[in-house]
Amino acid sequence: MKKAFVIGALLVVLTLSLGGSVASKGTDNGATYEQLRLFTEVLSIVQNQYVDEVPPKDLIYSAIKGTLRGLDPHSSFLDPESYREMQVETSGSFGGLGIEITLKDDILTVVSPIEGTPAYRAGLQTGDRIIKIDGLSTKDMQLPDAVKRMRGKPGTKVTITVAREGWTEPKDFDITREQIRVQSVRSADLGGGIAYVKLRQFQEQTPGDLSGTLEKAAKSGMKALLLDLRNNPGGLLTAAVEVTEEFVDDGKLVVYTEGRVRNQNMRFTAHAKKSYPTLPMVVLVNQGSASASEIVAGALQDWKRAIVLGTQTFGKGSVQTIIPLSDGSGLRLTTAKYFTPNGRSIHGKGITPDIVVELPKDAQKDRQPSLDPMEDLKKDLQVQRAIDVIKTMRIIEQQRPPQNLQGQVRPQ
C-alpha cells in the first residue's frame, strides 16, 4: 500500500515538483507574471514608504498567508517553527490541550476534544467556537497560529474563550496544558460475544494496536463488534486504510482521491493478511467524527460491511498536501478531495448514518466520566441501541446456512 501521511485533519505528505508540470495547461503564464509585477510594485512601495520599517521576510510571509487564506480554510503557510511542530501531531505524544480544531465559516471551531485530555475534561465540545485565546481575538487567525498559541509547556495554563449554541454569552475555560499521550485504542467486553472497541485517533500505532485487540477478543469468543468512532477527529490516512482492511476483502477499494495534479489521484485498496470480513459490525459516529474516521465509516457503509449508527459526521473530505519550502517553512495546500468506494464526496456533507440516534441535548453537559467505564457504556443511549442492532444482525446470521470461514471468526 502506498504510504501517505495525514496530519490532524487529513494531510498527505508528498514531495512535489514546482516546475511547469504542476501548472494547469490552461494557466496563462503571461497574465500571472503581469500580476507578479504588480505585487513587486506594491512590495517596493511598502518597504520604502510605510510608516514603520518592516523586515522583507515578514512582508513576504504575510503576503503568502493572505494568499492562502483566500483559498479555503484548510490551506495555510507554516513558518519554520510551525512546520517543525506540525511533524509531531501524529506521533501520539505532544504538548497541548488535546483538541482538533478547524476553520468553519472563518471561525475557529472545535472538531472534537480527544477523550481523556485536558480539553475533554474541561468540557469543550464539538462545534464550540473559540473566539479568544488568552484574551487575543481569533478573528483572522490562521490554524497554525491558533495551534501554536494553545500549545506550551506542560503545567502552564491557557484561557480559551468559547461561544456555544444555546449560550447567551461566551465563557472562559482555564485549561492546564499536559503532555498529550493518546492511547488510540480502548476496548471492553459488552457480554454475549459483543466486543467494544473505541478508536480515539488514527496514529501510526493504531492499526497494530487494533489488530492485537481484535485477536485477543477473538480468542475470548468475540462474535460481533461495536466500533466506536465518535469524537475521533482523524489522523493518518494510512492508518484509516489499514483499519478498514481488517474488515473488508483483499483488493477492495477503501478510498480514492482526485485533484488537478496527476499524482494527487490515488486509490487505496485493502491488502489484508488477517481480517474479519464476515464479523457482524456496528460503527458509531457523531459530529466529532471527521476525516480519517469518515473514510473508515464510509468504506464500511459502502461495502455493506457494517451498520453506521449515530449522527451526521463532520464532513472533512479534502486532502492537504504538506510541501516543504527552501527556508525550512512549509505550505499546507488543499490539493484533492477524497471519495468513498461508491464515489461519494464527504467534504462539507459528512456521512449520514444508516440509523440516526440522537443523544439528549444535555447528554454531554457537565460530563464526568465514572470510574467504571462499563457504567458509562450502560448509560450510553447510542451504545445500547447499537447492541440491540447487533443482536438483531446475529439472529439474521444464524438463520443463514453455515459457511466455511477458513479460520475467520464465525458468527453464531
φ and ψ at residue 279, rounded to 5 degrees: -70, 120
Q: Are 351 and 289 in contact (CB under 8 A)?
A: yes
**Dihedral in degrees, nearest 10, Cα atoms 358, 315, 366, 359:** 0
Residue 70 maps to a domain: no
Count of structural domains, the chain: 2
Question: Is-above-0.85 flag for pTM?
Answer: no
DSSP 8-class letter at 358: P
Domain containing 365 equals 185-317+337-398
Q: Is the Cβ–Cβ distance between 101 and 110 less than 8 Å?
A: yes
- Could you tell me if 174 and 196 lie in one domain? no
How far CA 337 is from CA of 9, 68, 132, 138, 295, in Å, comes to 12, 17, 31, 27, 12
Q: Are residues 256 and 167 in the same domain?
A: no
For residue 357, give the C-alpha cell.
Answer: 440516534
Domain final residue pick, 133, 160, 181: 181
Rounded distance between C-alpha atoms, residue 100 and residue 181, angstroms: 14
Q: φ, ψ for residue 143 (rounded to 5)?
A: -55, -50
Please check whether residues 142 and 205 belong to one and the same domain.
Answer: no
Contact 176, 157 (CB under 8 A): yes
Q: Tens of pLDDT along the chain (412 residues)?
A: 433 333 333 333 332 222 333 334 445 667 777 878 888 898 889 989 999 998 988 898 888 988 888 888 788 888 888 787 766 554 555 678 988 888 888 899 998 888 888 998 999 998 999 999 999 999 888 887 898 899 888 899 999 999 999 999 999 999 999 987 778 899 999 999 999 999 999 988 999 999 999 999 999 999 999 999 999 988 888 999 999 999 999 999 999 999 988 888 999 999 876 789 999 999 999 999 999 999 999 999 999 999 999 999 999 888 888 899 999 999 989 999 989 999 999 988 999 999 999 988 765 554 555 545 677 888 899 999 999 999 998 887 777 666 554 444 444 4
Could you give the residue numbers annotated as active site? Answer: 291, 302, 316
Contacts of 211 (CB under 8 A, 6+ apart): 246, 274
Residue partners of 70: CB distance under 8 A and separation at least 6: none
Looking at the fold, whether 346 and 309 belong to one and the same domain comes out as yes
CATH no. for residue 137? 2.30.42.10
- Pair 271, 211 in one domain: yes
Q: Identify the domain boundary among 181, 215, 246.
A: 181
Any domain includes 168: yes
- What is the C-alpha separation between 123 and 185, in angstroms, rounded? 21
DSSP string, 158-221: EEEEEE-TT-SS-EEEEEE-EEEE---EEEEEEETTEEEEEE--B-TTHHHHHHHHHHHHHHTT
Quick one: 169 and 241 in the same domain? no
